[in-house]
Structures are given as C-alpha cells and as structure tokens.
A and B are shown apart, each in its own frame.
Chain A
C-alpha cells in the first residue's frame, strides 16, 4: 500500500472516473498538476482531441503536448434533471456542456459554480478542476470571472 499521507488514493470515487488509454496517458498525468494538455500534430500544426495514436487529419504519429489557456465558450448545453447513473444522483440538476476551447477543440464537461439554468450557449467559461480518487483531476468549467 502507498504511504499513509497519500489520502487521495484511499478516497472513494464520487462519480464515474475515466479510464486511461495509452494515447491519453500524458493528458491524465498532467491533470495531477492541474494542467490541461492538448495533443498537437507536429505535421499539421493542429490540435487533436480526443488524444489518439494517429492524427485524424494526416494519420501522422508525431505529436507534442501544448498547455491550454483554460478559456473557452459554451457550444451546447443541457441541464440534466435526472441522473445518468446513481453516482450522479446527489448532483441533480447539473449541467453537461460542450465547451469550445480557445485552441479550437471541443470537449464535454460540466459547468459548475452557477445556477444550472443560467448556463447559455456562447457564454465564456474558464477551466477548473475536480479531484478524482486516484490523484488525477477532472476538467470542469465555471463562468468566466471578469477582470
């Protein structure tokens, strides 16, 4: 077992936690330091999301990882009035949204820290994190704080 100060690994999951694939290992590793890395094809000079073994544009295999600014806008949004699974029951109603990041990729996430019905398409949001039970962090978004 890990040492007794590692409380995170002993924590119980409070939602479905994402598995890690070979291609996405760098992404999830970086979330431990609350950094959001985007897989970047060096041949096309463009973002690839979700992370995978080949660039879907050129099938190339040469990548670097670039840190995202964490700023984006809501592309689509839906308030869930019923839980998708029992682990989400205590969060109802909650927002699932597609967020378009400044870097041009679109990811699914939750928009938190505001009344669910206030979330609208086009709204600026910023990255925040929710700890997972194994020390990784899950990307979340909250309304952009002005100034």
Chain B
C-alpha cells in the first residue's frame, strides 16, 4: 500500500474503507538467514536496510511486545548532529543525512521537522565551549550558528534572560536539528521492511541464544526455536539480559529516563530549546503539547516509570528558564529504560561469538540514531565490515581505553553520564 495525496483524498471521500494493515502478521519460520532481536527503532531500521540495501529479505525481527512499545515510542524525539568527538561526530552526521531523505525513502510521513535545536549557555567559559563545539560541527560538514544574547532573545523572547543564577549569555543554534514523530519512524521502517519480505513477528520473546563451537546457530523464543546463522541483539534497555543468554556480560547499566507533556497549547515554542545547566529541554509537538524532559533518575532501574524527585527537579528547571510554563498543565509523564554505557556513547559491533552482533549503549540519545544505526548494523551484518560512519563504535574500547568517546569529559565510568 502506497501513500499519495490522491489516495488520501479518495479514502476520505469513500469512508476510509480501503485502508489495509500496513504489514503482515506471519508466524515465525523455522529458519532465516538472519534474525534481529528487538523491534524498536534500531531493530526495525536494521531489518529495513538489510532488505533495501543488501537484498537480505529472508530475515525476521523478533519483538517480545509490540512495535513502538519500547523507547522508540517513549522518547522526546530530538534529532541532531551536534557531537564533538570523532566516532560520534561522523556517525550522527550520517544519521542526520539519512533523516533528511527518510520520508521519501519510506513513503511515510514521519513528521520530520528541522525546526532547529538551540543550546543555551550562561558564562564566558561556556561560550568558548559552544564556539568550539560549533566549529567541530561545521568541520564535520554540519551546521552551527553561535548566537549572542540578543540573537537568542530574537528567537525565544520568553526566557528569563536575567535569571540570577543562570543569566543567558547566548546559544549555539543547529538549524538542521529538530524533531520527528517517534511512532511513525518505527511504523515507516516496519512497513518498508515488510514490503520487502521481512517477517515482522510481535509477541515473540527471545529466551535463549544457541551457540555451537563458538558460532551462533539460532534463538529460542516463546514461539519456538528459530535457526539463523546471523543474530543481532538490538534490545536497548534489555541488552544485559539478552547478552547474558550468549554468556556475555556487558559494560551497561540500565537507568530510567522520564519525559512529560502538557495539554495542547497554541504554538509558542518554535525550536527545540535546551538548558544544559538545569538539565532541561523542551519542544512543542504538532498537536500543541509542550514535550520536555530532564536527566536520568540516577539509579539502576527497569521500571518504565520514574520517581517524584526528578519530576520536581525538571519542573523547577522549567520554571527557572521560562516562567511562562507555570501556566501550562502537565498531562502525562512516563519513563523508558536506557542502556547507559560508561562513556555515554554507543556500540555497533561483532561479539566473541561468530555471527552474533551487538547494538547497544544508546543512552538517552538513540532516537536520532535510528536510521544511522540501522544502516551501519545492516552493513556490518551483510558485508562483514563496519560501515565507515560507525567504525569507531567498538565494544572493546572500554577494555583497551583506545577510542573512548567521552563527550562530557567526565571519565568513562558508570554514573557519570
């Protein structure tokens, strides 16, 4: 089924009776060329690019719940390529380029909106850092504009510029950054994969990984055994449990991250605004809700809901930055389970088991990575070589210390990112 303006018009005039399910609901086959564990954004994108770029169509995505039930449907949808360090820099740059062509590629409206991302700063030292980061972004081929206080004011006049603790000195603006509709990204990749013959299997929990003589041979699932010579673990917050099925222990700690949305309001926040000093960021959805969030709850957790202390902190930061928000009513809040790595950067790599691949460590920033990650993992699985954009996302960097990507410069240790 293909979308077009004509089709939408016709369906609208005929009672919308012609729409069909966007993907099949097949039973798992006993053997595939490859299986992907986890039907979040990354798993679905991997399946799509395996089929679309590498003609690997005899493959399946195994999802224990439903597509979009994990972090891909829980995030605050910010897409950006404003990283500082080699490794992250080229990876997110490539991912943003894929985002820019994604709706045409998938024929699916992901509501990708390059409204710009504005990072505020509050001191001379922070301005220097913002300038440096902007230069890294520009030398990577992406865009960045250093704004002074008046430049920021003309964009977002409603901030508290003279806050006693965090007066606004300026901001680093990334015009090509923005937001997208998270569910639509999962659905678009799912539909594209299904159209190319990929079996998308929901309610299918992987319970074991079969290994013989150091090679992966398949998986055990709640819907029976499935054989495959290539298996990818793409399960975000559940990475440690699934990797343990292959006898691996990972440098990952799972934490809860919360997000909030207000009632729908008239358009008032045109960009994504981030207030790093208060651990607060905000944007407005197309429905009008203010979507905002803060930092992790900061203790290991698998509860997909948060605690009140972080909620209080986020609300306080919101009031500090933009007092006008005090009039808006919060509609909902929720949490997702983040796969936190020691340096705050991800892994797309082989493992010690032949044919077994690992994709994890996305922390709180893996939504913008969805196309880039799927593209790179598909490339690695199909060709046996890492894609250029992801060649540094190696698992052994923690062991060797070589190639750590510690963006915050705090040290590659848990609890610091």
A and B: bona fide binding partners: no
Binding site for A on B (CB under 8 A): none
Q: What is the interface of chain A, defined by CB distance below 8 A to chain B?
A: none
